[in-house]
Structure 1
Amino acid sequence: MPTEAQIAGGHKANLNNPNTSQESKQHSKEVLDNEFNGDNVAGAGDNVDKNPGNVAGGLKATVNNPNVSQEAKESAKERLNQM
């Protein structure tokens, strides 16, 4: 049986898959919004303290990645500023 994190991850992957239909993407977006509060779902290891240097590095990579949406970049910048 898949965990909530796996289900949400599948819907997130579907949203970014260029080979899926707009109807399928809309369904995934609705599931994430309605059942997972956007995409706020606890995943494996979420209760473990994370290395702040690694987190900052990942956020910096997001900000500089040309394949990341402007919205994601802004979110990463905000999180970096809060650290």
Structure 2
Amino acid sequence: MQQTYPLVYGLNSGTATCPSGTVITGGGLRTPLGGNNLTAQLYESYPSADNSWTVSFNNSAGTAGTYDVYAVCLPVTPVA
């Protein structure tokens, strides 16, 4: 699952949530920031619940745009 957020100057934080019937196995972040300027400082990237992934980072350059938070989800198979 992917959730897109507007990129703001300073602290950015976002969460991606897996749909019902799935479980989270990982997650992450994609931003237009980076390169040699080191304009993104990642603070957190963690499973914030059984079905969601949360990230927070600093946009010290004030670059505009959007960023994506990802949750890697797998279907839950009921045990018979």
Bigger helix fraction: 1
Which has the higher relative contact order, 1 or 2, with Cα contacts under 8 A spaced 6 or more apart?
Answer: 2
- Higher percent of residues as strand: 2
TM-score normalized with structure 1 length: 0.23
